Copies of this chain bind each other. A is one copy, B any other.
């Protein structure tokens, strides 16, 4: 079983490198959004797109076991979105994303958001060719999640602590949650946000802009 798993992951990594090369060539800053189901990934993405779309092209790939609900919500903002249904599958893989990238009209420079299947376990192991995994943890989920699901918080470079508007109504210790996340991954960048109210979005958007700018510089000098 371990050999089979290594084989699958090695194959995936090969496809991920192809995706990464294509995205670099197009100067597209690609983020892989991972979290539990219901942590607010799509709502967060909609608000992020509304802030970005006037200044820069945005493209979205949506992953879910079933339904095209999320791609429809994204398309309603006016940006192109392609839905991948994984059926029995518990995560997106680089081959699926590669096929989606070939199918979509990718712009020259911009953002690609890949919203993974809601699952705090399996997507951690699969590189899709993204620049960064962004883990979303909502304040209704408990402070212990980074310790219980360390692979994901180690694989991510950013943690968005979402639904901060609900803090007055739930027992949730923000400092403890952040400390737990940093214990697993000391270099994690953490932003406290609310996709519902927009709280904390300035810092998150600034981080996105600086990532895109850095990519453009690298591509120009490369």
CA distance A141 to B64 in the complex (A): 15
Do B38 and A151 touch across chains, with their CB atoms under 8 A apart? no
| Candidates B37, B64, B88; contact of A151 at CB < 8 Å | B88
**Identical copies in the complex:** 2
Is A142 an interface residue when CB atoms closer than 8 A count as contact? yes
> Interface residues of A: mostly helix, strand, loop or mixed?
loop
Most chain B CB within 10 A, of A89, A125, A149, A151, is at A149
A156–chain B nearest beta-carbon distance, Å: 14
Chain B residue nearest to A90 in the complex (CB): B121
Question: Interface with B: A23-31, A45-53, A112-120, A205-213, which one?
Answer: A112-120
Is A22 an interface residue when CB atoms closer than 8 A count as contact? no
| Candidates B66, B121, B145, B170; contact of A122 at CB < 8 Å | B121
CA distance A149 to B36 in the complex (A): 12
Q: Which residues of A contact B (CB under 8 A)?
A: 4, 36-39, 64-67, 69, 88-90, 117-122, 125, 138, 140-142, 144-145, 147-151, 163, 166, 169-170
Chain B residue nearest to A2 in the complex (CB): B88
CA distance A110 to B192 in the complex (A): 44
Do B90 and A142 touch across chains, with their CB atoms under 8 A apart? no
Most chain B CB within 10 A, of A4, A121, A166, is at A121
Do A120 and B118 touch across chains, with their CB atoms under 8 A apart? yes
A92–chain B nearest beta-carbon distance, Å: 12
CA distance A170 to B166 in the complex (A): 8
A93–chain B nearest beta-carbon distance, Å: 12
Chain B residue nearest to A171 in the complex (CB): B196
| Candidates B4, B140, B144; contact of A67 at CB < 8 Å | B144
User: Within 8 Å CB of A140, what residues of B?
Assistant: 38, 138, 140, 163, 166
A121–chain B nearest beta-carbon distance, Å: 4
